[in-house]
Amino acid sequence: MELEAAQALGQYAGAGLAAIGSGLAAIGVGNVAGNFLSGALRNPSAANAQTATLFIGIAFAEALGIFAFLVSLLLMFAI
């Protein structure tokens, strides 16, 4: 295989693999939101005070997905 073709192949395959990370982050965000909801339905009076914690948890879980997305963008456009 030519060197450039191999490089392009690696670039696109790597970008696709990195995109898996975004999907995995979605699982994490779903876990956070789902557990919040199941907790909130058991004790609705305590739920309002915890919305800030919910968003912080979602933000931390989401950040890693965004990193994966960024890696795939870098592979596609920057290298």
Partner 1 sequence: MAEEVHTEGALDAHTGGPDHGEGGLSFHPMDQFIVRPIFGENGDPVHWYTVTNATVWMALAVLCVLGLFVLGTRGRAIVPGRIQSIAELAYGFVYKMVEDVTGRDAVKFFPYIFTLFLFILFANTLALLPMSFSTTSHIAVTAVLALAVFLTVTIVGFVKNGTKFLGLFWVSSAPLVLRPILAVIELISYFVRPVSHSIRLAGNIMAGHAVLKVFAGFAAIAAIAPVSILAITAIYGLEVLVAFIQAYVFTILTCVYLKDALHPSH
Residues that bind partner 1 (CB under 8 A): 52, 55-56, 58-59, 62-63, 66-67, 69-70, 73, 77-78
Of 35 and 55, nearer to partner 1 (C-beta) is 55
Q: What angle is formed at CA 62 by the lines to CA 56 and CA 67, rounded to 5 degrees? A: 130
Give the separation between CA 22 and CA 33, rounded to whole angstroms. 17
Of 1 and 78, nearer to partner 1 (C-beta) is 78
Query: How much is the CA Rg of the chain, to the nearest whole Å?
Result: 18
Q: How far is the CB of 35 from partner 1 (least distance, A)?
A: 18
